[in-house]
Structure 1
Amino acid sequence: MSRELFTRREWLAVVAGGVTAGCGGRAAERDSETATATATTRPTATAPPTTTAAASGATDGVEESMSVDADSFEQGPGDCALAADPVPEGTWPMSHRDPAGTNAAPAANGPTGFPLNERWTMSALEAQVTMPVADDKYVYLVAADPEPQPGVPVAAVLCHDPRRNGEIQWRHRVDAMPVGPPVAAAGMVYVPFGPAENARVLAIDRSEGTLRNSYTLPGRFVGELGTAGTSLVMPSEDAYRVVDARSGEFCWSFAPNDVTGTDRQDRKIRAAAVGDGVAYVGTGYPDSQPTTEVGHVYAVDPDISGMRWHVPLDGPVGRVAVADDTVTLTTGNGVVGLDPASGEQRWRASSDTSIRPDTLAVSNGLAVYGTRRQLYGRDVATGEQQWSLGFGVRGDVIFVENTLFAVGRADPTSKRILLAAVDARSGDVRWTQEIYDPLVDVMAANGYLYAITSDGRLFAFTSV
């Protein structure tokens, strides 16, 4: 079933008007609310122990030793656990990734039999939409009017019921533009709204669509919100900031540019992942800034109020994943595997062309990444190439059990955008479907494969 939910006029009415029954079974009609930022106690800096980095050839023998001082790690009053628990079946709480950055979901999350069939389509014409997230029942995304009229709210957080062909269950309107996709954690939908230099994060009750809290984010917001156990990660360019997802209380933050021995202020946070209570934070210039041939990765352990190790790299970090006792990173024209305990480089694979910075998935001992021409599968433990496929990826790649889903082109000269399913063990293509809309990315939850487009469409696919 395919249907266009909104024309532009209807979209404005949806944002400003009423909706159907709520996700928790209650009716919800929310007016624009002015949220007051919750005050958090200024964190008291603690003096963490001095640590030594283990570069071990990460940049052709470059080794760097730096101590962590009180300015780089700030301890707050909150007490939250940093955990990379497996994604619960049927859910997709974070856009593009799970806490460990693996982009891997259990078989229950999506269809595994082929061919697939388009079950339903939600369409908000001319609206800008974020990547969706999902709990075990509903799907949440933010749609914004790119040309708002005076006095008309410009964005809405929407709750969809996939069992009812994507029917909207509630909406919460906001007089601001989103600066990132939502996160589902602790019974809330957390959404960042801009401008990026002065962003705030809204905590919206998932069952009713009501605003529960609002938090200001120090620094320029980049990337995406994250969830990890009871922690909610609110990253800025210069700090990996962690708060309690249950209360919003500040727990701790790490600022790479404040590490003793840093030679210049170019270590902007680009990606991070969690494993065994440690945050692996990758840096480099943001995408819109001048390029640099240097990147860094830091293993930050809140239990010691500091850094276990630091490794310089020969390119800005694009994505980080922690799985199979390996920290896997994409770094410009290469992929690197590091020992999570010491930072020692286990392997490195180079590419003749730039690696898509946001393309990495790791599952069952296999790391998959891509360029504009090829998709690669490598052994996580050794870095040995298992297979390659002539498929130029455009966005992220995700695992659903042993099936890999990707968006891209079989021929880089073609304008045809394909949604493809690939057998992760062999690299063989199992199914493709041409999508004429400007397809952006995919995720799997509730038994569906979801594909989002840049012009406001959300496709839901199931096995035939």
Structure 2
Amino acid sequence: MSPPSRRELLRASGVGLAALAGCTARDDSLDDAATRTTTRRTETTAQRTSETTTTTEQTTTAAEASECAPKSLPETGWPLPDRDPANTNYAPSATGPVEKPSARWQRTAEPPETDAYVEAGFTDPAVTSDRLFVGKRLLPGAESPMPEGNALHAYDRASGERVWTYPLGDEAPRALAVTGDAVHVATWSRLSAVGRTDGTRRWTFDPEEGVEAVTPTDERIYVTAGSGSVTALRSDGTAEWTASAGERLSARPAVYDGSVFVGTADGTLTALRASDGRERWSATLAGGDSDSDRLVTDVAVTDCRILAIASDDVVALDPDGLVRWRATGGYGTVSTDGASVYAGTDDGHLRTFSAAGGAVEWETFLGDRNHRRVDGIWTDPVVADGTVYVSARPDSLYSFEARTGRENWKLTFDSLAHSGKPVVADDDLFVSAGNVLAAFA
């Protein structure tokens, strides 16, 4: 089984440290606070450093934007970790809260009763039209074994009342996704399919090398293992095919237009045929002296561009695997609406590029110039109808205008807990922060 990714280790360090806005009651509101490098592209040697939002001329036409917009998006909700199988983090029909929101309901993850030190926290949620699904995971102390009490919870989306619980024992949930009538929850060693309405087990898949990531679609469920294999499962959990794609897979697979795109720890991006796992093409995106220097950690796909984070760079390829442009600068996340690419850095910059050519459209600095701590973009940017949402370390959630980068509002968590990915559905916004799950409106 492969070790946790850098992002997962960072997320785990914030689990259970504190609640939202310093509140343990469900109706407490959030406090506000004042808002608080360089990118080099292959097309130019010009370097830019910015602490405030700046804009440049738009380089993508309306026709190009329409042609390149992600296809096969869910009709509603946020059912997968990056919303759709192509990992775009794009919800064009959702608005989210236009004005600065307040918490509509909150739920707290409680640790089990034990003499050992244990913290509890929530995964990022998956949202459908009527329900919200979230994993409760436990984080024991360094000398303590993993206790029983990990679980998958289903909540009523409107009221926040718990509908059912599926116990996971001593297996902590890593991620979950909803397709059809099943919720798929992944732990380090197992993938379980659970009935969406009643929370009963349908089937489990236990690969010998463990589960690295999962991307379900209507046709198949694609599971990557720590050894570098990709397995396509049928809806009943039986394997249809297995393929090897590298020494270790380091990014959630993206599935788009008949291909499965997987990134490896040695800096390679490979496109497999979704029907049988045969390789279409493979491209080397990164080099370096260690695995941490070569990792491909994020992949998102549209009709016009395949986007990846490789060696902390944003790399844009055409559908045939040819690199079109690269942006360097410590990036860890990438999202797209087809026309623009939204990426966050480890030191707190959020930048938007033209998907066509890589020109910077706007950028803003969300970090803190205090060198005693490291601030950065904590999650993938989430792109809704004209709005971008992003969480930034250590304690903030932002809303920006997608076209200009103008800040709409900022929420500050009165704690050390890192907020998870803001999940937007219709005009609602859901986010986990440490041991608190909250719905905003």
* Interval of TM-score (by shorter of Structure 1 and Structure 2): 0.7 to 0.9
Give 1:304 deviation, angstroms. 6.6
**1:271–1:283 contact (8 Å) kept in structure 2:** no
Match of 1:400 in 2: 384
Higher Rg: 1
Higher mean displacement: 372-381 or 296-305: 296-305
| Structure 2 CA distance for partners of 1:220 and 1:377, relative to 1, 3 Å | same
Instruction: Give yes or no for contact 1:85–1:229 (8 Å, CA) kept in 2.
Output: no
In 1, the alpha carbon distance for the partners of 2:358 and 2:406 equals 20
Aligned to 1:390: 365
In the TM superposition, what is the alpha-carbon distance from 1:178 to its structure 2 partner?
A: 2.1
What does residue range 43-442 of structure 1 map to in structure 2 within 5 Å?
Answer: 86-108=72-94, 110-125=95-110, 126-146=119-139, 153-164=148-159, 166-193=160-187, 196=188, 199-222=189-212, 224-237=213-226, 238-244=228-234, 246-257=235-246, 266-284=247-265, 294-303=266-275, 305-314=277-286, 315-340=294-319, 342-351=320-329, 354-356=330-332, 359-371=333-345, 372-391=347-366, 392-408=376-392, 417-437=395-415, 438=417, 439-442=419-422
Correspondence for 1:261: none
Q: Give the AA of the match of 1:389.
A: T
The alignment's C-alpha RMSD in Å is 2.6
* TM superposition shift of 1:115: 2.2
Deviation at 1:364, TM superposition (A): 4.0
Q: Which runs of 5+ in 1 are unaligned?
A: 6-56, 58-83, 258-265, 285-293, 410-414
Structure 1 range deviating more: 298-307 or 200-209: 298-307
After TM superposition, the score normalised by the length of structure 1 is 0.70
Structure with higher RCO (Cα < 8 A, 6+ apart): 2
**Whole-Å Cα distance in 2 between the matches of residues 379 and 158 of structure 1?**
39
CA 1:254/1:401 → structure 2, altered by over 3 Å: closer, same or farther?
A: farther
- C-alpha contact (below 8 Å) 2:190/2:205 kept by paired residues: yes
The DSSP-based 3-state class of the residue aligned with 1:394 is coil
User: Matched residues in 1 for 2:302 and 2:138: separation?
Assistant: 39
Measured in 2, the distance between the counterparts of 1:131 and 1:151 equals 21
Match of 1:450 in 2: 430
Q: 1:86 to 1:303 in 2, by over 3 A?
A: closer
8 Å contact kept, 2:121–2:436: no
Mapped contact 1:140–1:159 kept (Cα < 8 A): yes
Residue 162 of structure 1, CA deviation: 2.1
SS of match in other structure, 1:213: strand
Q: In 1, distance between residues paired with 2:99 and 2:423?
A: 17
CA shift in 2, pair 1:373/1:152, >3 Å: closer
8 Å Cα contact 1:112/1:403 also seen in 2: no
SS in 2 for 1:395: coil
Q: Name the aligned partner's letter for residue 106 of structure 1.
A: P
Amino acid at match of 1:250: A
Inter-partner Cα distance in structure 1 for 2:230 and 2:264: 11
- Give CA deviations for 1:358-397 in whole Å, capped at 9, x if unaligned: x111004010101123111001111111111112412221
Does the Cα contact within 8 Å between 2:214 and 2:252 map onto a contact in 1? no
* Matched-pair contact (CA < 8 Å) for 2:80–2:126: yes
Query: For the residues of structure 2 that align with 1:142 and 1:98, how far apart are their CA atoms?
Result: 19
Q: Per-residue deviation at 1:87?
A: 3.3
- Partners of 1:420 and 1:346 lie apart in 2 by 30
Contact 1:301 1:307 in 2 (8 A): yes
- 1:10-51 per-residue CA deviation (whole Å, 9 max, x = no partner) reads xxxxxxxxxxxxxxxxxxxxxxxxxxxxxxxxxxxxxxxxxx
Q: 1:302 to 1:167 in 2, by over 3 A?
A: closer
CA shift at 1:297, angstroms? Answer: 0.6
The answer as to whether partners of 2:222 and 2:253 remain within 8 angstroms in 1 is: no
Residue 112 (structure 1) shift = 4.4
Distance 1:305 1:355 in 2: 29
Further displaced range: 169-178 or 418-427:
169-178
Report the CA distance between 1:169 and its aligned residue: 1.0
Mapped to 1, the partners of 2:75 and 2:335 lie a distance apart of 18
Contact 1:271-1:317 within 8 A present in 2 as well? no
SS of residue in 2 equivalent to 1:271:
coil
Deviation at residue 145 of structure 1 after TM alignment: 4.2
Question: Equivalent pairs: percent with the same residue?
Answer: 24
Cα separation, 1, equivalents of 2:426 and 2:150:
25
Secondary structure of the residue aligned to 1:360 is strand
Contact kept? 2:383, 2:389, Cα under 8 Å: yes
Match of 1:425, SS state, is: coil
Partners of 1:183 and 1:343 lie apart in 2 by 28
